[in-house]
Amino acid sequence: MFKNITLSLYSLLLGLMLSPLCRASSDVDRLPDYQKVAGVSGNLSSVGSDTLATLISLWAEDFQRIYPNVNMQIQASGSSTAPIALTEATSQFGPMSRPMKAKEIESFEQQYGYPPVQLKIAIDAIGIFVNKNNPIQGLNFEQVDAIFSSTLQCGATQRLNRWQQLGISSDWAKLGFQLFGRNSASGTYGYFKQHALCEGDFKREVNEQPGSASVVQSVASSIHSIGYSGVGYQVSKARLVPIAIEGRHYIAATRENILSGQYPLSRYLYLYVNKNPLKPLATNDAEFLKFIFSKQGQKGVEKDGYVSLSTELAESQLKKVGLAF
């Protein structure tokens, strides 16, 4: 009962946190157009989240069309690599699908004397994927935990190991789950562990993948597979399963439900930067950030399957680094 109350409160708080923002963010055309400036050339680099790899690449390609003399290097090895790269000054940008941990911020601050700046750049949702021919109608948090975890901290009394335990009567339902998920370097891994497993531990049987796309492709390849990944990585042979906090009040991972805050596995995505509070950003860094929060940049967010920011939130993020539209 306590776990169910906790999950319900979490859903309510998430809805209260995201709903006003997302209702305002549905009209990306309210954002200003990016204005080209002179003197932008040279190298930019991004090290961090695999979840954000496609979005960063889209932004880089569009930015390079405006500034052909800019070269951007992108390394997407997981969110945990971003703080290290920023601290060691091997990258200007650190995309992360989770907030930095206290010890990561502390390491950076010991090096520079000030903390890194966290910028919210988009809203994401994590989905549960099954093969497109799997008839499962939906799952609640208790069932998701019983499928993926060994600790059962969300209220279940026994682990789920086969599809027939979920009421599926097909011949293949006697097969055990083939489980897929992200590796521990990923922010997606940490978020799912915290919110879907109630801070529990994953089963050893979960096949950890280095990328979000490979999770979904693996699930698509066999009827008895199930995995978690960002909803933007959906492919034709895989299907997103609606999720309920409890019972059977399933909520699909549609744009509308993510915008309203109803879908329970939603989160912000971040970009961290090294901004000395006493100095302005370098021109290249500043213009790339202004592009990200412009109409063109946030249309890239929507193109990659995420939820764009409101004008108000985009403006507030730029102010964190001393910039304005």
- Residue range 196-216: mean pLDDT, rounded: 95
pLDDT > 60? residue 20:
no
In whole angstroms, what is the distance from residue 291 CA to residue 297 CA? 6
Q: Are 304 and 54 in contact (CB under 8 A)?
A: yes
Q: Both 151 and 250 in a single domain?
A: yes
- Name the token pair of 303: 């193109």
Residue-wise pLDDT for 231-245, tens only, equals 888 899 999 999 999
Q: Both 130 and 259 in a single domain?
A: yes
pLDDT > 70? residue 6:
no
Give a yes or no: residue 325 inside a domain: no
Lowest mean pLDDT among 18-27, 168-177, 234-243, 279-288: 18-27
What CATH number corresponds to the domain at position 200? 3.40.190.10
Q: What are phi and psi of 139, to 5 degrees?
A: -135, 145
- Per the structure, the count of domains in the chain is 2
Give a yes or no: residue 1 inside a domain: no
Q: Both 82 and 146 in a single domain?
A: no
pLDDT at 15: 41
Give a yes or no: residue 8 inside a domain: no
Q: Both 98 and 150 in a single domain?
A: no
Q: Both 114 and 175 in a single domain?
A: no
Give a yes or no: residue 2 inside a domain: no
Q: Both 193 and 215 in a single domain?
A: yes
- Residue range 160-186: mean pLDDT, rounded: 94
For residue 99, the enclosing domain spans: 14-124+268-320
